[in-house]
Amino acid sequence: MYITRLCADGFKNLKKIDISPHESLNIFCGKNAQGKTNLIEAVWLCTGVRSFRSTKDSRMIDIDRDNMEIELSFKNSFREQTVRYSMSKKDIKEKNIFLNGVKVKTPSRLFGQLNCVVFTPEDLEISKGSPENRRQFLDLCVSQIKNNYAGVCAKYERIIEHRNALLKSIYSGKSSKDELEAWDIQLSQLGSYISLLRYSYTKKLNTFASKLYSEISQGREKLEIGYYSTVFPKLEGKKDYAGEMAQEYLKVLKKNTDEDIRSGFTMKGVHRDDMTARINGLICRDYASQGQHRSVALVMKLAQAYILSQETDDSPVILLDDVLSELDENRQKFVISKIDGMQVFITCCDKNIPFEKNQHGRLFNIEGGKIKTQRRKEKKD
Ligand SMILES: Nc1ncnc2c1ncn2[C@@H]1O[C@H](COP(=O)(O)OP(=O)(O)O)[C@@H](O)[C@H]1O
Ligand SMILES: [Mg+2]
């Protein structure tokens, strides 16, 4: 799949942008704070998936303007589609989103149409960072291929908040322990569903990532990715999330209730789970070098792109925001070779990126939120 046209106006600092990207390579060069990441974010918004930068809605509109509008057209082997996304400061909650001219109620209704994989310098922390980083990565990946998943996660988070408030209230004698039951039943079902989907995604991730890692390390190192559940000692073979799994989940919550009341916090559950990466058997979090962490993060992101291709029968658009300059030459070349054939948007500060001089693509210059096309090199038929 590839983006054929992108217009944006009033989205953060972007001003009257109207570009026709190349089918494969698009490079956006510009100094710091000119709008490179904003441009990537504008594309991302049209996927319907939560902002990778956690930008608040009100901050998406230019501070000096009242409205913002993005229009993006993309094509797959079947058809061309258009997303129009606009927001106004007057009514920030009301987003005007249209898919092919038809209004959709929420951004999540755009899921599964435009598929992108965004790669930012922060993503290089997936392996090294906190379990929360990895859970976020995993949840975003799953939500791209499973429509209702983001909604289930949001519901789970709301219930955890209620439960934690109740735990504190029980501790101070204002509420009784019996009140937990209703929350626990809901948590058990939602948590079991999340566990199952995350586990199954992790298995797919492992298949692709371990193969890629073997390549990047020239066969010297073996990467294994697994899912660490705080609730289920074993997830393999489990299916019945509403029945058997939920019962097991509930038992774990009940067993921990007294400790939870003392701490005012729910200690077990998918909000405490982790994804584990091991190189040659050693847990990366504890043993990996900086370089190994980077390679693990790279292969995970590439695996995300491959899984999307597999699940949707179409390659996603790859958005590389300022990451190439963070990588050494070997890793740069590796990434580029692995996304060959997909449409790529690359943002960078200089033009010294490792692409062949004669490679087909377009080079854009971005300054003060405005974009100029610098060079085109089109494919000859
Ligand atoms: N709501 C907004 N209105 C106007 N400008 C904004 C808004 N949000 C961010 N910016 C500006 O956008 C610029 C950052 O753009 P960004 O895309 O992150 O830069 P970079 O090119 O370094 O990736 C900053 O100058 C920032 O002040
Ligand atoms: Mg940036």
Per-residue model confidence (pLDDT) at position 5:
98
Burial classification of residue 33, based on how many CB atoms lie within 10 Å of its CB (0-12 exposed, 13-18 middle, 19 or more buried):
exposed
- For ligand 1, mutation pick of 9, 11, 13 (most atoms within 8 Å of CB): 13
Measured distance CA(151)–CA(93) in Å, rounded: 18
pLDDT band for position 357 (50/70/90)?
Answer: low
Burial string for 214-233 (b: 16+ CB within 10 Å, else e) reads eebbeeebebebbbebbbbe
As a whole-number percent, the residues of the chain with pLDDT over 90 amount to 82
Last residue of a domain, one of 259, 277, 311: 311
**Which atom of ligand 1 has the smallest separation from the CA of 321?**
23
How many of the other CB atoms lie within 10 Å of CB of 193? 22
How far, in Å, is the centroid of ligand 2 from the Cα of 41?
10
Q: DSSP assignment of 93-145, as one string?
A: T--EEEETTEEESSGGGGTTTS-EEEE-GGGGGTTTS-HHHHHHHHHHHHHHH
pTM of the model: 0.92
State the closest ligand 1 atom to the C-alpha of 38, by its place in the atom list counted from 1. 17
Give residue 80 CA to ligand 1 midpoint distance, Å.
Answer: 30
- Identify whether the C-beta of residue 163 lies closer than 8 Å to the C-beta of residue 256: no
Ligand nearest to the CA of 370: 1
Q: Quick one: 70 and 130 in the same domain? A: no
Shared domain for 307 and 370, answered yes or no, is no
Low-confidence winner among 220-229, 241-250, 317-326 (lowest mean pLDDT): 317-326
Cα separation, 277 vs 133, whole angstroms: 13
- Give the ligand 1 atom nearest the CA of 347: 23
- Residue 214 and residue 175 share a domain: yes
Is the domain of 217 the same as that of 278? Answer: yes
Looking at the structure, do residues 303 and 358 belong to the same domain, yes or no?
no
Q: Which residue, 23, 42, 90, 142, is CA-closest to 371?
A: 42
Cβ proximity of 274 and 131 under 8 Å: yes
d(CA 345, CA 146): 25
Q: Which residue range forms the structural domain that includes residue 186?
A: 121-311
User: Do 188 and 151 belong to one domain?
Assistant: yes
Residues 72, 171 share a domain: no
Q: How far apart are CA 98 and CA 71, in angstroms?
A: 9
Question: How remote is the CA of residue 169 from the centroid of ligand 2, in Å?
Answer: 44
Q: How far is the CA of 350 from the centre of ligand 2 (A)?
A: 13
The CATH number assigned to the domain holding 96 equals 3.40.50.300
Q: Which residues are found with C-beta within 5 Å of the ion, ligand 2?
A: 36-37
**Domain edge (last residue) among 263, 292, 311:** 311
What CATH code is carried by the domain that includes residue 299?
1.20.1050.90
Domain count, the chain: 2
Q: Which ligand has the minimum distance to the alpha carbon of residue 66?
A: 1
3-state secondary structure of 325: helix
Q: Is there a single domain that holds both residue 105 and residue 251? A: no
- Quick one: 76 and 172 in the same domain? no
The residue among 181, 180, 112, 177 whose CA lies nearest residue 142 is 112
Say whether both 143 and 234 belong to one domain. Answer: yes
pLDDT at 263 over 90: yes
In testing the pocket of ligand 1, which one of 9, 34, 38, 326 has its CB within 8 Å of the most ligand atoms? 38
Boundary (domain end) residue, out of 264, 291, 311: 311
Nearest residue to 203 (alpha-carbon basis) of 222, 223, 221, 227:
227
259 and 126 in one domain? yes
pLDDT value of residue 49: 85
Query: Which residues form ligand 1's pocket by a CB distance below 6 Å?
Result: 12-13, 30, 32-38, 59, 61-63
CA of 173 to the centre of ligand 2 (A): 50
Atom of ligand 1 nearest to the CA of 366: 21
Do 305 and 201 fall within a single domain? yes
Q: In angstroms, rounded to a whole number, what is the distance separating the alpha carbons of residues 316 and 172?
A: 51
Q: What is the pLDDT of residues 174-218, one digit of tens each?
A: 999 999 999 999 999 999 999 999 999 999 999 999 999 999 999
